[in-house]
A and B are shown apart, each in its own frame.
Chain A
Amino acid sequence: MVSAGTLHVVSTEMTVGAFAMAGAAFLLAGLASHDLFGMRRHLTLADNVAHFALAFGLLSMPMAIMTGIQASPGEGVDHPLLINKMLLASTAFGLAFGVLLTRWRQGSEVWLHEWGRRWQALGGMVAVGLILTTASIGGTFSRGESLLDMLHLPYEHVPLMPIWLSGFIIVVATVNLVLLRRPAQA
């Protein structure tokens, strides 16, 4: 039989691997869209790889989360690292989803606009960075160390907002997303 811990490792490697590839591809796409190092001709390739890898990483995330919950000791979220992991993963998921949504709605034209391509590349790379930080927290939680420990990130501190403020943000963000469904006026 395969334990939840083993499945978590498999699904986490899938997720992190996909995101890492997406990160590299977003960097290349950013460079190519700015025609740096003569890379413009690789823009289409980097664009496709970046967004497909990001989408695959997003699809793998629920499996990683479910197996992670099953594999974790104890009941509930009883450690600051787990809370920070959850908050970071949520933010990364939202940002990655926004990047994909933008790409889906604007198509490859997103790379034609100066600020659009800049934000698209940055958004993808930041989402990847957040996921890698999340994975680093997982390593710190399960093994007591991770590669990012050298940065001395404050994993033990949990920045929690009042629940009313979270609710307000949810309402504002949802309304904003609904309003943004309408195409912009040229």
Chain B
Amino acid sequence: MTRHRLLGVLAMLLLASSQGAANPSGVGAGTFDAQCGGACHGDADMNRSSPATVTVEAPEVAYDALLTSVSVTVSNIQTTTNGLLGVFLLSDLSGAEDTPADDGWTVISNSEGGVENYVEAHIAPGQTNHTVSWTLRAPAVGTYNLHAAIHHGTQDGSEAPFFGATASPATVSVVEVPENLPRLSATFTPPTQITVGQDTEVNLQTEFVDVVAVDWRTVGGEAQTASVRQLEDGSWAFTLPASVQPVVIEWRAHLEGEGPTQTTPWFQINSDDASWSVDEPTAYVQSVAMLLAATSLFVGLQHRRSQSPLKAYEADMDEVGGDD
């Protein structure tokens, strides 16, 4: 009984340590408040100040319910040996209910290929700057602040959780959309994921637009012009060429109409290999089936052979010339 208790206590201790572990491999992209995503990094009693500098850039004016682009640049980066850097876009730095969505913003995409306010980037050795961009749909008319925060580990082996934030926020005034402003439709949502090796047709819905021109580029590359065709009034289409490897493609549209010409922010599309999926219940059931089948087959096999061990033993001994 004592032995069983000891084994139970040891098992509980082992399991508890894994449950309370830090996340040196990150937690993955998600919609997080700074405290939730940062855990001990965001805890003022535990964290250390990151030496990195975080700045957030956003347009001074955005239009109600239309898309706008915000970028966060982290410089003087120091991370762990695996180069993982977590970046938050936040509506304040209170640590709770501070996602952009809490102020009415909608995250449409980010340059890491997701639709969350928190992303994790892998920083190459020697890289000191990194920029993450978000495409947001603006909230109702008003004035809003946008902050950014980062967290990371360290290479000195201390496993200290580092946390950093913008010194001052970017302030965005969201105003009413002018009546005849050429713009993307409020219902338009740009694609964020495409598959490597496949051309991608993007359909645009616009309002008060007579002419559309589209630029596209890979990150760091030269901008090229895409051929745009009008499908019907307020509906346009253009094709992005197939990428040969996973890459981030950016595009923007120039919209001309009666009102002042508008240029959209750069929208990011992550081209990635075709995702792989499986019917998980089928796999789990097959796993159980193979476990039971293996046990059953082996026990059945040995059961047949065990029908007369004494006789076999005697025959065996005759064969080898006696017992040891």
Contact = CB atoms under 8 A, between A and B. Distances in A.
B22 A3 contact: yes
Contact of B309 (A74, A106, A177): A106
Interface of A: 1-5, 7, 35, 40-41, 63, 66-67, 70-71, 73-74, 76-80, 83, 86-87, 90-95, 97-99, 101-102, 106, 109-110, 112-116, 119-120, 123, 158, 160-163, 165-167, 169-170, 172-174, 176-177, 180, 184-186
Contacts of A4: 18, 21
Interface string B146-182: 0000000000000100000000000000000000000
Which 7 interchain pairs have the tightest Cβ spacing?
A: A94-B294, A98-B298, A94-B291, A173-B292, A173-B296, A166-B289, A112-B313
B279 A160 contact: yes
A33 B124 CA distance: 57
Interface residues of B, number: 54
A101 B295 contact: yes
B230 to A, nearest CB: 40
B283 A77 contact: yes
B282 interface: yes
Nearest to B285: A166
Contacts of B278: 77-78, 80, 83, 158, 160
Given A73-B28, A177-B295, A90 B279 contact: no
Main secondary structure of the interface of A (DSSP, over half): helix
B305 interface: yes
Contact of A174 (B159, B292, B316): B292
B23 interface: yes
A158 B294 CA distance: 18
Contact of B302 (A7, A97, A120, A162): A120
Nearest to B311: A186
Given A74-B28, A113-B305, A2 B21 contact: yes
B293 interface: yes
A180 B299 contact: yes
Contacts of A90: 287-288, 290-291, 294
Contact of A1 (B21, B26, B312, B315): B21
B300 A180 contact: yes
A73 B24 CA distance: 12
Interface string B17-31: 110111111101000
B289 A169 contact: yes
Contact of B286 (A2, A79, A87): A87
